[in-house]
Amino acid sequence: MGEKVKAVLYLGIDPKHFKTDKPLIHCPLLEIVARPIDSMEIKQVFGSILDYTHIIFTSKSAVKIFFKYFRDFGYQLDQLNNKYLIAMGQVTAYFMKEEGAVPTYIAAEESLEGVMRVLSTLDLNQANVLFPKSSSAMPSLAHFLVEHEIHHQICTLYDVYNRKQFSLPDLNDIDEIIFPNSKTIDIFFSLFDTLPEGIKLQALGAATRETLKDKLSEKKNLVISC
């Protein structure tokens, strides 16, 4: 018998768009909980949704929840035809298209920095920007909007919690670990002080890579794949 092929361990919520030729083990460390549709913040934002000129989507979860609530408030997709819809990378754009919404701009880099580069090319003097996001989203994009004096509204659509119950596989059977965001790194390294020698670690996105590098700064026998 040949040597057993080791698997790739994916720690994010949805591995649908992660491509690998190896066996994939999915172990989500996080769960998404949408905020109530009747909360004051969400009612105010969706009550005036047609007043916004630009809407920024930075995750598939934000896309799914936004369009569900958009429809629940009685709107039709064609009412977004005159809006500029901005997607953070191809994965977010894919989920927008699944909802029937075609992105106006797609950030080449799947990161907040990529979105900010797109915004930097636009004339936003008369814009009214909506940024629907997670409660745990990195603050850099919000800071960018403030620093550039862009009229905007931030709406927290959902919370991200540590999953209470999960079962990680034997890491000796794993060739590579995929971290889609910084929270998965924090949870994982709270459980493991050492890893098998030669195991590869891949962080998705610039901010996640920086978090992983910080975590690895005092550890040995680890290989990061960027």
Residue 223 in this model has a pLDDT that exceeds 90: no
- Is the Cα dihedral 89, 187, 216, 22 positive or negative? negative
Q: pLDDT tens across 114-157, in order?
A: 999 999 999 999 999 999 999 988 889 999 999 999 999 999 99
Residue 25 in this model has a pLDDT that exceeds 70: yes
The class (CATH top level) of 33-161 is alpha beta
Instruction: Compute CA distances 50 → 83, 122, 127, 130, 131, whole Å.
Output: 9, 20, 13, 10, 14
Q: What is the mean pLDDT of residues 194-219?
A: 83
What does the domain layout of the chain look like in residue ranges? 7-29+163-225, 33-161
Q: pLDDT tens across 35-94, in order?
A: 999 999 999 999 999 999 999 999 999 999 999 999 999 999 999 999 999 999 988 999
Q: What is the pTM of this model?
A: 0.82
Find out whether 156 and 180 touch, Cβ atoms under 8 Å: no
Find out whether 68 and 98 touch, Cβ atoms under 8 Å: no
Is 33-161 in the same CATH topology as 7-29+163-225? yes
User: According to the CATH classification, is domain 7-29+163-225 in 3.40.50?
Assistant: yes
Question: What is residue 2's predicted lDDT score, i.e. its pLDDT?
Answer: 52
